[in-house]
Structure 1
Amino acid sequence: MTDRERQRQALKAAARWHVQLAAGDAPAELQQAWQVWLASAAEHRWAWARVEQLQGRLASVPGTLAFDTLQRSEAQGLPRRSVLKGLLLASGLGLGGWASYRSQPAQQWLADEYSATGEIRHLNLADGSQLVLDTASAVDIRFDDQQRLIRLRQGRIFLTSGKDSRQRPLRVETAQGLVEALGTRFSVDQREAASRVEVFEHAVRINPHQAPARRLEAGQRCQFDSHAVQAAQAVASSEAAWTGGHLIVEDWRLGELLDELGRYRPGLLSYSSELEGLRVSGTFSLTDSDAALSALATSFKLKVHRYNRYWVSVGLS
């Protein structure tokens, strides 16, 4: 299934959930099932946000036109894209509103390359560089005569730069600026309001959109936003173990570890607050988080409640 097909299916499912939940007093079982669906995939959360946004925009459509039209369109097999466009036009938003709707975070699912939740994907690029996509990550790859550019739309990547015969610069673009490889192995993590860079070999040059460039050496990490690069800190070589599907931790809070494991699971991994302060060290599998949870349950005498495939809760026995 392509990313576009997943996007369309997520939007269709979100619309159905919205109709059921808005039809009256939804029973607790329906609310619970919707929450599990919502937590099970990033595209589900994106689709739900889009449906809610559209619902707000359609509030100005007279009477029950929007609600009735969306229901009838599905029943009659009409293309949902055309119906949504027509309703946006009817609500006075015009083609600009439709363009804005199309330009929302849906575009991250239209990236050149992406990884699913729980997937760690290895790619060999045309110039000989090696690219690793962490869980739920997405990139565009733009190689031309001037540069080799990887646009990080979402998530985290690890890049081992290849030797380019044309000596084009190799750069990673984030929302906050550019990271240029200086013959190196490094990772870039696109976060909500900043980017984080970790260098494991040689160096990189960080170029924020509105601040002077700064060089980051091997064994260092830092965060930067559009206006500043924060002070460098030390990074251990074990921080790159995720590329092989492993997480190596030393004296982490157990809650922090569970949060990290949760990024690699489709669905919701919750835990009781009493676990937050416990400390843990060890090596855990990211590609088999169930095995990691079982090991933690044995070590800390925890109870792992598996309500279904997408909802797991951890607490003390």
Structure 2
Amino acid sequence: MSQHTDAPIAETVVQQASHWLMLHWQSSLDSQQQAGFDAWLAADAEHRRAWSRLGRLQQQLIQVPAATSLTVLRQQPELRRRHTLKLLTALLLIGGSGVVAQRTLPWREAMADLRSGTGERLQRTLDDGTRMALNSGSAVNIRYSASERRIQLLGGELLLDSGHDPANRPLIVETAAGEIQALGTRFAVHEIDGGSRVDLYAGELELRPRHAETSRLQAGQQRWFSAERNADIVPADRNAIAWNEGRLIAERMPLGQFIAELSRHRPGILRCDTAVADLPLTGVFPLADTDRVLAALQQSLPVEVQRVTRYWVTVRPRS
């Protein structure tokens, strides 16, 4: 395979290719859709490269011959198709051959002990009584041993209420940035901006970045850290875990940030036009019905919702 073929695909092309792939999965294209797809494919060599790589990657993902891969994906449940689409689009952005791709984070998430799909939130009680909640699009491995209780957060966001362990084993959350050790606590960890954001609501935590100074958090504090550095300690955001109750709370939140958060709970592509990204938004919104949330935005802000399909939506200035 050539170096050009292995190279990452531009994000805009990935979004377009993902849109067409979702339409192909839903059913056979009608004449108008087929004409649009053919025109898109012919318009640019990068479009053809993206589509070709998508075909190869989906065959590897479901491990069936090319002749039957589309049929298999159409027959899969909606949640599995959403997860498959996210895997494929992430691999297009990463680039590399199929062998290399299988070592990347999306594949680790696919093989995780516990994972939530888009729009899905999970709650579990672990063997030691620890209560764990996973936000949409999250994945963890649970590695309990005689010496420690370790939870590997592979992506997304979790909320933990640590249980009392008779053996006094340490409870550790491991992320790509480092480790978080709980000392009888309630806290949330969110993989964001290339690091881990920790909000502590009760108890105490020790943060151990892989290549930076160890620090401690007290109840009511928040800190973001990467493998190499610690950000400043700021007040914990209690609204940040409203997802555990099926809500998204905004207090003068920029619309672009709000749409980015809402997109975690909605299949397909949801974007915000930069022209309205700084509009402040305040309110409490139900995560179970993102269409209702988008309708509410049109009533409260000078914006409109443009739908190419249900899976490709843009919030833009009102005409």
Q: Give the TM-score normalised by structure 2.
A: 0.71
Distance 1:265 1:252 in 2: 19
1:48 alignment partner, one of 65, 87, 92: 92
Letter in 2 for 1:122: Q
Please tell me whether the aligned partners of residues 272 and 314 of structure 1 are also in contact (alpha carbons under 8 angstroms).
Answer: yes
Distance 1:195 1:238 in 2: 17
Give the total of aligned pairs: 252
Distance 1:296 1:124 in 2: 36
What does 1:69-108 correspond to in 2, within 5 Å? Answer: 98=99, 100-105=100-105, 106-108=107-109
State the partner residue of 1:111. Answer: 112
Q: Which runs of 4+ in 1 moved over 3 A?
A: 29-34, 37-41, 46-50
Distance 1:178 1:121 in 2: 22
State the partner residue of 1:259. Answer: 260
What does 1:138-153 correspond to in 2, within 5 Å? Answer: 138-153=139-154
Distance 1:108 1:239 in 2: 23
User: How far is the alpha carbon of 1:309 from its aligned partner?
Assistant: 2.1
Please tell me whether the aligned partners of residues 119 and 287 of structure 1 are also in contact (alpha carbons under 8 angstroms).
Answer: no
Q: Identify unmatched segments of 5+ residues in structure 2.
A: 1-17, 26-36, 59-80
Letter in 2 for 1:45: T
1:27 alignment partner, one of 23, 39, 49: 39
Farther-moved stretch of structure 1 (235-244 vs 108-117):
235-244
User: How far is the alpha carbon of 1:47 from its aligned partner?
Assistant: 4.4
* TM-superposition CA deviations, 1:110-130 (whole Å, max 9, x none): 111101111111111111111
What does 1:161-200 correspond to in 2, within 5 Å? Answer: 161-200=162-201
What does 1:1-317 correspond to in 2, within 5 Å? Answer: 27-28=39-40, 41-49=85-93, 53-54=96-97, 98=99, 100-105=100-105, 106-315=107-316, 316-317=318-319
Letter in 1 for 2:96: Q
User: How far is the alpha carbon of 1:220 from its aligned partner?
Assistant: 0.8
- The CA RMSD measured in Å over matched residues stands at 3.0
User: How far is the alpha carbon of 1:190 from its aligned partner?
Assistant: 1.9
- Structure label with greater radius of gyration: 1
Distance 2:192 2:315 in 1: 26
Please tell me whether the aligned partners of residues 112 and 141 of structure 2 are also in contact (alpha carbons under 8 angstroms).
Answer: yes
When residues 48 and 239 of structure 1 are mapped into structure 2, their CA distance, relative to the original with a 3 A threshold, is closer
Letter in 1 for 2:162: S
